[in-house]
Structure 1
C-alpha cells in the first residue's frame, strides 16, 4: 500500500484522476461528485487548473500519489493480524468503491507474490536435487517440493485483506 507504483497503477486502472484531483463536494441528493469547474471541465474533459509556466494542467503521477495518500489509512492489529483499510473522500459511495477495488487488487497482488515465491522456492530445491547424488538429501528436497506444491494450491487466505 505504500508503493507509489501500486497506487499510480491503481489510479490509472480505475481512471480515478478526475474524482481524486478535481472533486469539490458531494451531492447527497443525487449521490454524485461535484467537480471544481476551475480545475476540470467534464463537458470537454479538459484540465483547467492553473499551474506554473512550463507545467501541464494534467496532474502528474506524483501529485496523484500524494493526494491519494492523504485519503487512505491502513492499520494492522498486532493481536490477530487483521488489516483495516479506509478511505476518506467527499463521496461515501466513491470511498466504498475504492476500498472494494483496493481489497480486490491487494488480494490478487498478495496471491501472485505468494505463488511467485513458491515457484522460486521449488526452482531452488530442484537445483539442489541436481547438485547432490546423496539419495537421502534428494528425498528431503522432494519432500520440501511436495510441501511447496501443496502450499501453492492452499491459497493465501491467512494473508488476505478483508473489509
Structure 2
C-alpha cells in the first residue's frame, strides 16, 4: 500500500516552515493545554528545582549576612513660634554639613570604608568622602513625621547600622537644632535691644534739648506779630505738653520692645535645653533591625526563583522544540 503524500498545510506537512505549527495550534483541544503544561513542568522539574533552590539560597544568604539596619526614634515638642525654623533646619543641607563637621561624624558614617582603608582620613588610599557627601548621607537617613497635622509633636527618626550610634547621633542632632535656633534668637534679640536703646537715647536727648530751649521751638512769625507774652507762654506750655505726651508714648513703645527682647534672651539662657524643642522621648538604642526583613526576603527569593525557573523551563521547551521540529519528517 503506497504512502499518502502529506497534504500541504495539515499536521502531516512537517516540512513546511511554520505552517504545521499554526495548524497544530488551531486544531488543539483546549483541555490538552493543562496536560501539556504538566508534561513540560514534569520534564523540566530538575531545572525548576535547581533554579528555585539557587534563588532561595541566595536570599537566605543575603537575609542573614547583609549588614542590618536599625532605626532610632525620638519624640519632641516644637514651640509654635519656632516650628517653621526647626523644620527648615532639618531640611537644610548646610545645617547637616555643619553638624557633620562639628561632631566629626565622617568616620562613623563611613565606618565600612574606614575598616577597608584605615588611612583614608589621613590622605592615604583613595579620596575620602567630603563633608558634603557625609551631610547628604546623613540627611537621607533622617526622617521627620508629625503626630497630628496641627500638633507640635514631631517624631524624628534615624536609620543606621549600629543602634547605639543611631541613638547617639539622633540625640545630638536634636540638641544641635535647639542650640542653633537659640543662638540665632539671642543674636537677633541683642541686635534689636542695641538699636532700641539707641533710639531711646535719641528721644531722651531731643526732649532734654527741647525743654532746655523752648524758645527754639517757638514761632518767629508769631513773635513778629506782637503776640503778647502771656499768649506765648500758653503756646509754649501747650507745645511742651504735646511733646511730653508724644515722647512718653514712643518711649513706652521702645521700652516695651526692649523688655520683650530681654525676656527672649533670659528664656534662652534659663531654658537653654528646651528653648525651641522639648524632648519627651529621647532616642535609645533599638535592637530590632528594620532591614533586611528575613522572612520577606527569603519568601521573595523563593517566589522569584520559582517564577524564573518556570519561565526558563517553558523557554527551553519552546526553543528546543522549534529547533527539532523541522527535522521530524526526515
Question: Any stretches of 5+ residues in structure 1 without a counterpart?
Answer: 23-34, 49-55
List 4+ stretches of structure 1 deviating above 3 A.
Answer: 75-78, 130-133, 155-158
Please, which of 64, 77, 85 is the counterpart of residue 156 of structure 2? 85
Per-residue deviation, 1:86: 1.1
Partner of 1:63: 133
Q: Give the deviation of 1:72 after TM superposition.
A: 0.7
Distance 1:90 1:117 in 2: 39
Which protein has greater RCO, CA pairs closer than 8 Å, 6+ apart? 2
Q: Does 1:150 align with 2:263?
A: yes
Max Rg structure: 2
Cα deviation digits, residues 37-78 of structure 1 (max 9, x gap):
xx3347x73239xxxxxxx52001221122111111123454
Give the C-alpha shift of residue 158 in structure 1. Answer: 5.9
Structure having the higher strand fraction is: 1
Unaligned runs of 5+ in 2: 1-89, 207-246, 283-330
Deviations 1:96-151 (A, max 9, x none): 00011111211111211111121122123223324434232112211221222123
Q: Tell me by how many angstroms 1:87 deviates.
A: 0.5
Equivalent residue number for residue 20 of structure 1: 109
State the secondary structure of the residue aligned to 1:79: coil
More helix by share: 2
Aligned partners of 1:91, 1:74: CA distance in 2, in Å? 20
Q: Provide closer, same or farther for how the CA distance between residues 147 and 66 of structure 1 changes in structure 2, counting only shifts above 3 A.
A: closer
TM normalised by structure 2 equals 0.38
Number of residue equivalences: 140
Would the alpha carbon gap of residues 7 and 80 (structure 1) be closer, same or farther in structure 2, given more than 3 Å must change? same
TM-superposed deviation, 1:7: 1.4
Match of 2:94 in 1: 5
Which whole-Å CA distance do the structure 1 matches of 2:258 and 2:191 have between them? Answer: 11
Q: Which residue of 2 aligns with 1:30?
A: none
**Stretch moving more, 142-151 or 87-96:** 142-151
CA RMSD of aligned residues (A): 2.5
